[in-house]
Amino acid sequence: MALNPEYAGRVFGPGEPYEVSRVKIADFADAIGEPSELCRNRDAAVKAGYPDVIAPPTFAVIIDQLSLRAVITDPGLGLDYSMVVHGEQSFSYTRPLHAGDVVVGTTTVESIKAIGVLSMLVTSTSIDTVDGEHVCTARSNLVERGADS
């Protein structure tokens, strides 16, 4: 099913505030095998010039995907999530996310394209602190496989 092209340009959010915690950063670092002490030891992070332990670069996908949930579950868009594969992902940081950050995600649908039986949904999620400081922009490209592919 083709995606509704009228959704291009729509903005979703900001969503509920997400609090970045030390435990979650350490869990995520453990899960990806990131060995850095800067993800686990506050003193080491402070010594390196950060306010608290910092998140690995792909941690922001958690906040991106929470923000994207509003888009992909919107019945008007017509996305069949069971047919979705992740096409591309990128993160652009103003500064690292650190424990204690309280952030909100705001997702913009950048484009919707149909290529044969595939539909492509390109989104951009701005991740900002609740005080309005930009931390990261996450771009995601989701591909919906057509029923015949």
Partner 1 sequence: MSATYDSPTCDGPTYDSIAKGTELPARTYQVTRLDLIKYAGASGDFNIIHWNERVARSVGLPNVIAHGMYTMAQAGRFVTEWAGGDPGAVTDFGVRFSAMVPVPDDDEGATIEVSGKVLDKLADNKVTVDIVAKAAGAKVLTRARATVRLP
Of 3-11, 24-32, 111-119, 126-134, which segment contacts partner 1 by CB under 8 A? 24-32
Distance, CA of 110 to CA of 19 (rounded, Å): 26
At 128, which amino acid appears? D
Binding test (CB under 8 A) with partner 1, winner from 14, 42, 51, 89: 89
* Cβ atoms of 61 and 138 closer than 8 Å: yes
Q: Which residues pair with 146 in a beta bridge?
A: none
Q: How many Cα atoms sit within 13 Å of 128 on the Cβ side?
A: 13
50 binds partner 1 (CB under 8 A): yes
Contact 101, 20 (CB under 8 A): yes
Provide the minimum distance between the beta carbon of 40 and partner 1 in the complex, in angstroms, as a whole number: 7
Is 118 a residue that touches partner 1 (CB under 8 A)? no
Contacts with partner 1 by CB under 8 A lie at: 24, 27-28, 30-40, 44, 48, 50, 54-58, 61-62, 65-66, 82, 85-93, 95-96, 139
